[in-house]
Amino acid sequence: MSPSAEITLYLSARDKIVALTSGTGRRWAETALDLAGFTETPDGLHTLALEDQAQARHALTHLHQAALNCQVAVTTHPRPYLGDIAEAIVTALPGHWMADIEPLREQRDQHYLRDFVWETGALHGLLETNRLGFTAILRDGGGTELLLAERPSDGSYIVGALAPSPDYVRVTAPAPRSVIASNARLATRFIQTRLLPDYERAVHLSRLAEAEEDLRWAQESEAGPYDTVDLQAALYRFRAHATAFIATLRATTPLPVEQAVFLDRVEKGLSLDDLDGPDPEALAEAGTVWLHDGEELIEMARAATPPAYPTPAKPKALSTAALPPPAVTAVTPAPRR
């Protein structure tokens, strides 16, 4: 009779073993872990401390016996615990990043995450076709969310962006490209130099598209910019985008005096210090500023669009006819990999 559940053991750098249960008979797997002396964490994982090696060996021996009795398979994962990789990445990234570990006990857990992946490429396909144990969501606290996963084919790590919430911005720009690295250090470097700039550019372009669409619609509307629920919603979106545009413009090279004065006036007129609920009079003023100065702000923001990360060029194929004949006495060393 084949086991109806499986326990996968991951060795963590924090002197512990992390156990992940999966399968239809997962309760039997959890029972085996409890009998062996594993500690259940608030997120439903089980861990075994390794400080006392004799006790740890005894617990692992007991686990294999209990798993046999409960008809549960026990396997050891060959790679480090993904939670350690995630913590190493968020610790090295600038700012205040946090990592949330996502145990994937069933295939539907992966499909749920897949639906939020922005790029329909390698990471999307990995969640679609491979059986993973864990993923990790990396958050910066400002709305940026990245998904970290391990590729079973070669043990490398892939990091891609999760699509921003539609309440934040309706994404229309090309999705940022995922990055692949062999270790946490390289993953951190690629996130900083490729993924995050790609992400910021895509969000910026999506903001521009949504802000321009709302402004054109408001200009063509016969009602005032705050007279209907839809117009109020469009104005609210524009004010949120304007906050990001102004912050981006001020963070770039020093602005000419007239542009700096313009931004100060727009910021005050849109009541950006009170996005949640300005009074009706301030809302009316914000609507007037939106219609009068919105286009100029959009154009300034468009000029400040972050540059695209260059796509690596494919090497040109060399014709064998163009290669010089090898010298008879020369020894050609093997190329470095």
Per-residue pLDDT tens digits for 168-218: 899 999 999 999 999 999 999 999 999 999 999 999 999 999 999 999 999
pLDDT in tens, 145-174: 999 999 998 999 999 999 998 888 999 999
Judgement on whether residues 161 and 231 belong to the same structural domain of the protein: no
Domain that holds residue 146: 82-198
Final residue before a domain boundary, out of 14, 48, 76: 76
- The reply to whether 99 and 185 lie within a common domain is yes
Domain end, chosen from 23, 52, 76, is at 76
Separation CA 312–CA 179 (nearest Å)? 13
Starting from the edge strand earliest in sequence, which strands make up the sheet with 179-181, in order? 98-103, 134-139, 145-150, 157-161, 179-181
Is residue 93 domain-shared with residue 63, that is, in the same domain? no
Is the residue at 206 inside a domain? no
- pTM given for the model: 0.84
The pLDDT confidence band at residue 336, using thresholds 50, 70 and 90, is very low
Which amino acid is it at 262? F
* Cβ contacts of 20 within 8 Å, gap of 6 or more: 7, 8, 10, 45, 103, 105, 133, 134
76, 95, 111 — which closes off a domain? Answer: 76
Q: Are residues 257 and 289 in the same domain?
A: yes
C-alpha span between 318 and 296 (Å, rounded) = 50
The 10s digit of each residue's pLDDT in 285-309 is: 888 999 999 999 999 999 999 888 6
Mean pLDDT for the stretch of residues 122-128: 92
Dist. CA 50–CA 269, nearest whole Å:
61
Total domains in the chain come to 3
Nearest to 110 by CA among 90, 89, 121, 125: 125
The confidence score (pLDDT) of residue 320 equals 33
Between 230 and 336, the higher pLDDT residue: 230
Q: Does some domain include residue 333? A: no
Return the higher-pLDDT residue of 283 and 5: 5
Q: What is the pLDDT of residue 331?
A: 30
If asked whether residues 185 and 89 sit together in one domain, one would say yes
How far is Cα 190 from Cα 188, in angstroms, rounded to an integer? 6
Residue-wise pLDDT tens digits, 211-257: 999 999 998 886 677 678 888 889 999 999 999 999 999 987 788 99
Rounded to 5°, angle at Cα 109 from 106 and 3: 5
Q: Same domain, yes or no, for 158 and 131?
A: yes
Which residues are within 8 A (CB) of 50 and not within 5 positions of it... i.e. 6 or more apart? Answer: 15, 16, 17, 56
Each residue's pLDDT tens digit, 77-106: 999 999 999 999 999 999 999 999 999 988
Q: Is 125 helix (H, G, I), strand (E, B) or coil?
A: helix
